[in-house]
Amino acid sequence: MDPFAALFGHVTPRARTFFTGTLCQTAQYTDEGHLHFLNGGGLTLVQADRSALRFDEPTLLFFPRGRVHSFSADPERGADLVCATVELGGAEGNPIGLGLPELVVLPLASHPALMPICDLLLGEAFSERGGRQPALDRLFDYLLILIVRHVVEGGLVATGVLAGLADPRLARALTAIHDAPKTSWTLDDLAAIAGMSRSRFAEHFRTRIGQTPIDYLTAWRMTVARQLLARGKPVQSVALQVGYQSAAAFSRVFTRVTGQAPRNANEKPI
């Protein structure tokens, strides 16, 4: 059982490297996802309504959903940085993008497993070899997956789907939903997969995830549907792939959950 396979399968993390070098002044960053790797020097992170944070050792700083922030580099040493914008599918309702903390800070000294990928990033960032940009972007893609693993395995979130995936019993039920959104799952079905009584499962799921199992199933179906529609799939086909027997029934639920009728570039709303 791979609890991440379906999540990453429907919304693949995407990273785009935009800066490699030594920052010698103040830099402003907009409200989109960012992943920064401080390799040397020092910098101060400034955010609205937050205390400033100082970093003087190799550290990964990850803003999953985007938050306006700025860096002030050490005036003497500067700050050696590799930076990328990231997209985790939060706009489409993907639980990864929605479930992570607003800022993840990972000092490499405390997380040695991240060092090999960071070494590869540095090797590409400061080289002039062919394919440098796509290589950097793919390495950041991989690094995003490692960070999500760390958050789940470390229990760094208390509620939401990533917290549920850290619970072996709930992870089995969540993985079943993610792998087969078309299935007409019932509360009894999911409780049996989790190895829990119906009532205990329902209570535990809602406490940990923040939704009932059936509400979460509906939300996941709409996330998958958004992705399929974005790829140009017809509404009728999408409806069947996420468990609805008619486009009309699917359209009612999609509109209720997302606030707009389902459509792709080639179709009019139902």
Q: Rounded distance, CA 201 to CA 206, Å?
A: 8
pLDDT at 143: 87
- Contact assessment for residue 140 and residue 86, using Cβ atoms and an 8 Å cutoff: yes
Q: Rounded distance, CA 31 to CA 65, Å?
A: 8
**Are 30 and 149 part of one and the same domain?**
yes
Domain that holds residue 87: 5-153
**Are 75 and 207 part of one and the same domain?**
no
Beta pairing, strands 79-87 & 33-41: antiparallel
**Are 40 and 106 part of one and the same domain?**
yes
Q: Rounded distance, CA 23 to CA 237, Å?
A: 50
pLDDT at 90: 61
Q: Residue 232: inside a domain, yes or no?
A: yes
- Taking only the tens of pLDDT, the chain with its 270 residues reads 677 877 777 766 778 889 999 998 899 998 888 999 999 999 999 998 899 999 999 999 999 887 899 999 999 999 999 999 988 766 666 787 778 888 999 999 999 889 999 999 888 888 888 998 899 888 888 888 888 888 888 888 888 998 999 899 999 999 999 999 999 999 999 999 999 999 999 999 999 999 999 999 999 999 999 888 988 899 999 999 999 999 999 999 999 999 999 987 565 544
**Are 11 and 63 part of one and the same domain?**
yes
Domain boundary among 87, 120, 153: 153
